[in-house]
Every structure is written in C-alpha cells, then in structure tokens.
Chain A
Amino acid sequence: MKKILALLLAAAMVFALAACGSSEAPAATEAPADATEAPAEAAASSLAVCLASEPDTIDPALNSAVDGATLVSHLFSGLAKWAQDETGALVIVPDAAAELSEGVENEDGTVTYTYTLRDGLKWSDGQPVTAADFAFAWNRAASPALAADYGYMFEVVDGYAEMWETDADGNIVNPDAKLNVTAVDEKTLEVTLANSVAYWNELLAFPTYFPVREDVVADEAWATDPSTYVSNGAYTMTGWEHNSVITLEKNPNYVDADEILMDKIEFYLSDDSNNMLTNFENGTWQLIDDVPTNEIANLKTEYPEEFVVAGQIGTYYVCWNINEAILPASSTLTGAEAEAAKAEIRNAIALLFDRNYIVEEIGQAGQVPASSFVAMGMTNPDGTQFYETAGSSDEYNGYYNVSADAFEANFAQAVETLKKYYTYDEATGMFTDFPTLTYLYNTSEGHKAIGEYLQSALAGVGITMNLENQEWNTFLNTRKEGNYSIARNGWLADYNDPICFLDMWVTGSGNNDVQFGKGGHKDVAIYSLDLTDLGYELKVENGTWAQTYDELISLIKSCTDNEVRYELMHRAEDLLMSTGCIVPLYFYTDIYMLDDSVQGFFSNPLGYKYFMYCTVAG
C-alpha cells in the first residue's frame, strides 16, 4: 500500500515539476529560435550595450541626462555633430547644416548666423526636414511652457531673456515671447545671439538644439513609444520595452545612411553595476558604462585593454557653507576680520587632504588630483588647458600643489596657519578647540569612503568631523538650503566653456550651495576686484560678493573679446578659490568597459557615446 502511495506522490511531483517546466518552456524554445536567427543576421551588424537604467525621457528638448543624450544623438541630427577626424581627434562638424557659417555682428552687438540645410533631409516617416522645424523646436525647448531642465541652453539666443522675464510675484510677463530665430525659407535658418558666443557650434551639436516636428510633439506622449517617435538622425527607434531595452535600427531616410556602419543597437536598461558586469563578462553586452567600485582594481588587471578610463569634464569637491561658524569660541575676531580669518582657515584645511591617496586608494579609476575648480578638459582660447593656467604659481597647476611629494609641506603649512587661530597642543600635535564639524554626503559607498578619509585626515590634527549621509533627493534639498556645515559636491560640464563652472556661484543661482551673498554673507564686504587693466571701469575695494563676483560674471557673459573673456574667467576663479569654500579633490573620469571586438567607437568629453561607426570583429 505504502509503495503505491509513494509512487502516486512521486508521479504527482513529476507532474508538478513538469507543470513548472512548461511555464518556462517558452523561454527554452526561444533560445534556439534566437540561435537560428543569428546566421541570418550575420550580414546585419548589431551591438548590445548598457549605459544606465530607463531614461526619464528621450525627447531631445526635455532630456538632461548623459545616457539620454547618447540615445538622442543617435536618433536625431542637429545642425552640427561630434565626430572624429582622420587623426582620431574630436571635432564639431556640420550635420544637417551645409556648413557652420561665421556669425555677422550687428550694430547693437548682437550676432546673426545664417544656416542653409543640406539637400535631401528627411524625417524617419519620409517628410522633409525644414528650417521651420528647427525654429519650432528651439522655441519649444526654451519656453517656460515646457520648462525643460536644459531650457537655459538657449540663454545665449536673443529673445530668451524676454521669454523668461517675470514680475515681482514670479509670473511670466511675456507668455508669447519668442527666440530670435526665423525660418527664412524651407532651407534657410537665421538665428541671432545676444552677443558672440565662443562655444556656439558646440551648442548646435547639443541634444537640446536638435529639431522636432510640431505635429509629432503635439502628442505629449510622443517620445515614449516607437510608433509615435519620429526622428531625423542616423537611427530610428524600433522598440522600447520599458525598463528593459530600447532598440535602434538604421534609418534608411537619413541623408548619410551609407556612412552608418552599425545596423542595430540595443540599449539595455539597467543601473545595477554588478548586473552590468555579469552581462559583460558572459558576452551578452559589448559595452557597459558602469562597474562595481570594489571590482575596479581586479578589472584593470584582468581586462587591461577593455577597461577604459576616458576624460570627463567634471570636478569632485567639498563645499563649505560660507556662513558656518568655524572660529573657536574664544575668538575675539568680528566682522570683516573674522570673515577673512575663516577664508584663511578653510584654505588651510584644504591642504590637509592627500588627494593622491583619494584617487589611488579610493577612486581607483584614473581620476586626477585637483587643485582648481574649473575642470580638466576645459581649454583656453590658445588650446592649452584652463586648469594648467589657473592660479598664480609657476611651479604647479591651480591654487595649491597637489603632487604627492608636496603633501608634507602642505600639511605643515596648514598646521602653521591654523595655529594662528586655534590652541595647539605641541605634545600631541592636536588642535584642542576646533568646533566639531559635520560632513554631509549622499548615501553611496564611494562617497562614504571619501568622507571617512577626510574625517581621519582631520582627526589627525584634532579636528572632529562627524559623517552624516542622506538619501539623494533629501541631500540635494539640504545642501541647496544651506543646512549643512561642509558637504560633498560635484559638477559635470554641460558644454566646453568654463563659464558653466563659474556662473553657478552668483548670489541668485539655484546651484549656489555655498550660500555666497546669502544670509550673513550678504553684507560681508571683503572682496576686491580691479579690472581697469583690461579696459573695464570696474574697480572695487572691500566690496560684497554681489558687487564683485556677480558683476564679474555678468561682464564675462557680455564680453565679446575671447582673450579678455578668458582672463576674466581666470579672475573669477581666483576670487572664488580665495574664499576657501570650494575644496577641489579630483577631476572626474568616465570609466566603462568595451569588448575588444568592437572597433570604431568614440565618446565625447561630455560622456556621450557614439556607436554608429562601430563594427564588430569576428
């Protein structure tokens, strides 16, 4: 009897297993189907990559993410584009425009550019691309009605200021205002800039400047589904399984379609770096844009060719809240003297950190120790690096010497400076009355490791710094509101011009985390600026932040002489760094892994990746 039972149960189990098996059966039959398709596809090349998780949007006007910009750059064609020349150097070349013409300066100082569109430009649905499409797209992207993150990219275009003018209550005054952009005829586009802009061509290659068609974007959900997504670039979107994969296929209507080598690109959507690495290692994905931090050391030795460290224009830094009281309780300094002392103290503390240790032991991704705020990768008009000419020293780049052998001297110098203000116990080598600090960072293992290093470096001289982490969105809010004493910060460039690192520190900027010119700092008048040698009338002694830095930035924005403009930007950085509120730690790098079978890949300094000219060997 028992045996029959056992048999019955065993049969039941087998049945149950079979039932489970059958639910997985479609997957099992799918695999061979893929395998049989593969030979047929051998003629058509394809690539599977993973940059990040699901993009918030791939509407060119609304996107503000680097991975979204990569997708949009494959799908749309603006007046200009990034490309590689014969030597492999990155250049901006005409794309939809026949040529990137020079601007003509008008009497009022504005500059007008006229572009002619190339022949045969078509949307992916076959309709012709017209100059009016560009004019429409630009007005849309810049408008308060869309309120796009990167709407301010059109700040340089005449008419933008009127568009965004607000009354005392913050209401938009001219809802019908337009940019000074006109479609003269089907193929001629005329745009007037408020003044000459050194990086204008680069802006033309920026996704926010890409065209969209009015009837397409009338449907607010147009950019979320392949059936409604009409583009004009090298690829069309043929599939979007949300949170899973976006598929791009070569656009036969693209005017340069015969130059496009890769037929199909699958952008897998994941932000899990462990998952990315697994798929890279088992050969599923040919490029992954992130790797687990704790694997970096291994990967560098295991995949010396495939682990890539590319330049990226950005700075990782620590920022002080300028209104934070850091003088000892016993200090008798007040007013301007106290503010000057605080700046000196902050600058001294910046010397206590060993940046080489941070990049080699913690970052491990080829980051470059930084001693200035404007990032490596930004260039002067003569082509030299902006950061190499920053600061006043001839011996080193930037505002302090961050080479490994200078650390000891820096440290000693910092201690000497701090001794002026704090009680120092010679026996222990510790300061005894430095107020306790709190370092704020957003929750992440990498940021935590750096915070712990900074904490231990300060503890070495008796300064107590507690660590506090907050979830990303809360952290942004706290930092923006200035409810912190010292915080982790970072900034990536939007375009290759130092102004995008400098104008964020004007009093009214939404990114002014340091709180320059706000709260108690509003009336602090200790800043001096003399621009008479550059032909300006501006000369301020002991002025406020608004009287000096804010003025300087507005002069830079209206300056048309490039040489002078860059000199002004260097001076703005000098002023910024003199406050000691910005403590640069390193310049960012972009690390990714690229399968060695892939040829013809390139990326730009903003981190956008280009797959259209790729071929896969074997």
Chain B
Amino acid sequence: MSSKTLLYILKRIGLAILTVWVVITVTFFVMRAVPGGPFMSEKAVSPAAQAALEAKYGLDKPLMEQYITYLKDVVTKLDFGPSLKQRGRTVMAIISDGMKTSAKLGIMAAFGALALGVVLGAIAALQRNKFVDKVIMVITTAFVSMPSFIMGSLLLVLFAVKLAVLPANGSTAQGLILPVITLALYPMAYITRLTRSSMLDVLGQDYIRTAKAKGVSGGKIIFGHALKNSLIPVITYFGPMLAYIVTGSLVVEQIFAVPGIGRAFVSSITNRDYPLIMGTTIVLACLIVVMNLVSDILYKVVDPRINLE
C-alpha cells in the first residue's frame, strides 16, 4: 500500500470520527431541547418523586456537565449508561439484544440482494432485449419503485394472512423470512439494473472485443473480464445499500414487529429514554460511517485506476 493511500485512509478515519462526534453532540442537545421527558406519564409522579429520579440518573446537573460526563463514559469506558424506561437494564444490553436480530436481518438481506442481483443482472445483460431480459426488467422496475412499507404490507397480507404459510410476527426465526425479503427486494432490483447496464457497457468495450478476437473463451471473457469490471458500480452501491438496509429496517422492523435495534430506536424517542436514544444513534451512525469508509476503500482495491485523492 502506498503512503498516499495510507494517508488517505487515515484522513478518512479522522473524518469519520469527527462525523460521529458531531452526531453525538447534535443529538445530545437537540434531544434535550425536545419537550417532554423520560418520567412523563399519563399519571404524573409527584414533584418529589420526579426530583428523586432526576437525581438518581444525574439529570439534575447542568446540561454541559451531563454532556461531558456522557462523552467521557462513552469514550473511556464504552459505557452508554442505564435505560431510564426499562429500569434495571443497561443501554448496552438493550442494543446488543436488538443488534443480534437486526444484524441477522441485515446480513441476510444484503447477501441475498447481492447474490441474486448480480446473477439476474448478468443474465439480463447477456439476454439483452430478449424475453428473459424484459421480464427481469419489468419485475425489478416494480420492486425499485415500491416503498418497503407497501411491499411489507403486501407480503404480510399474502403470506401471513391469505395463505397463512409464514408468521406475521418477526420475533421467531421463521418470522424473519418476510422481513428479509421485504428488505432485500429493493437493493436486489437496484443491483440487477446496475449490473445489467454496467455489464452491457463493459461488453461493448474494446478490450472485450480484443479478447474475443484473440480467441479467449466466452466463460473467461464473462468471468475474467466483463463481470469483474462491471461490478465496480455495484461496489460503489455497497455503502448506500447498507445505509438503506440499516435505515430501511426501522420501517420493516415496525411492520413485522421484529425486535431489532430499529424498534428500540423508535421507542426510545417516544419514551424520551435519553441514554437509549444516544446509544442507538451512536451505533447506527458508526455503522453507516464505517460502511461508507469500507466501500470507498474497496473501490481502490477493485479498480486501481481510481485516484483516491
């Protein structure tokens, strides 16, 4: 690795840390500016009880002091503090519980989308303008243009209610099938279209013609030259796709009642569970930042022509 590349990577990591810090700071102060509070309920607790709770969780201290204490705990001890709503549980425990499910969901959706998308895209490109190509294009257009909450509801009605072959509740292993499909369809369709157009582009390149002229076998052309090079746009899409899956799972987890981090995030906001809001935000932000970083670095690996500067 050249020193230039190394410098670039270091710079990007520095930028990523800065991004996360900005996210933490903005979230911390905006969250506290929102009206309401963690101990607000239909049946109001007495002022003395409220004061006792605030003192217990350090919420009675000046905001700046709370911010500094929080940052210190997160950076030095990776301690996100206790949940204010689910008393007795730490934010870390809630996040790691949710993450197990969300990660399973996200990884299955991402790999499913990648594998199917690339294969379908390649088939479509090789069968250009033939029947198979047209079918694939029509279907993927439909998937790309349909938002996940509609797709999710349709699948739910079809498979869980009408046919009753799959559970509607995403809390079991079987229950994850529908949410995985819902989450994977959009990126799968997008990758299919991406692979198709990029493959068509590559197949028209001079070096492919040269390879053909030199008598290289068809399989070698496709797998050795065409497919590899047409995957560059797919890799550039890798980062945005993971971001889509992470954010998309907020909606999908809600529809299928999947006990993931997305649901923890949504409910932490309605509950004003400050430490949980911070914890989930930090984890999600880190995830997106890291994914983008990784896909940027991957460009370079796949295509040496790309100048990172």
List A residues at the B interface (Cβ < 8 Å): 1-2, 4-6, 8-10, 12-13, 16-17, 19-20, 23-24, 26-28, 30-31, 53-54, 56-57, 59, 62, 64, 144-145, 147-149, 151-152, 164, 166, 170, 172, 220-224, 241-245, 268-270, 272, 275, 278-279, 281-282, 284, 471-474, 476-478, 480, 490-491, 494, 509-511
Contact = CB atoms under 8 A, between A and B. Distances in A.
B174 interface: yes
B42 interface: yes
Given A20-B112, A473-B36, A241 B171 contact: yes
B52 A282 contact: no
Contact of B52 (A9, A13, A147, A270): A147
Contacts of B62: none
A275 B257 contact: yes
Given A221-B88, A243-B98, A282-B161, A144 B169 contact: no
A64 B41 contact: yes
14 contacts: A5-B219, A6-B127, A8-B219, A20-B112, A26-B173, A30-B174, A57-B88, A149-B45, A152-B49, A221-B89, A272-B255, A477-B35, A480-B44, A491-B42
A20 B176 CA distance: 13
Interface of B: 34-37, 40-53, 56, 85-90, 93-94, 97-98, 108, 111-112, 115-116, 119-120, 122-123, 126-127, 156, 160-161, 164, 167-169, 171-174, 176-177, 217-219, 222, 254-257, 259, 263-264, 267, 270-272
B48 A5 contact: no
A9 B122 CA distance: 8
Contacts of A152: 46, 49
A163 B93 CA distance: 34
Given A57-B86, A275-B256, A279-B169, 4 more contacts: A24-B177, A27-B173, A62-B87, A279-B168
A172 B48 contact: yes
A472 B270 contact: yes
Contact of A278 (B90, B93, B156, B217): B156
Contacts, number: 179
Contacts of B161: 278, 281-282
Contact of B222 (A5, A19, A149): A5
Given A5-B219, A147-B53, A510-B45, A13 B119 contact: yes
Nearest to B161: A278
A268 B169 contact: yes
Contacts of A474: 34-36
B46 A473 contact: no
A170 B86 contact: no
B257 A151 contact: no
Nearest to A217: B88
Contacts of B36: 473-474, 476-477
Given A9-B126, A170-B48, A241-B171, A4 B219 contact: yes
A186 B117 CA distance: 70
Contacts of B108: 20, 23
The 9 tightest CB contacts between A and B, nearest first, are A243-B259, A510-B44, A473-B36, A244-B171, A278-B168, A16-B115, A147-B52, A27-B174, A27-B173
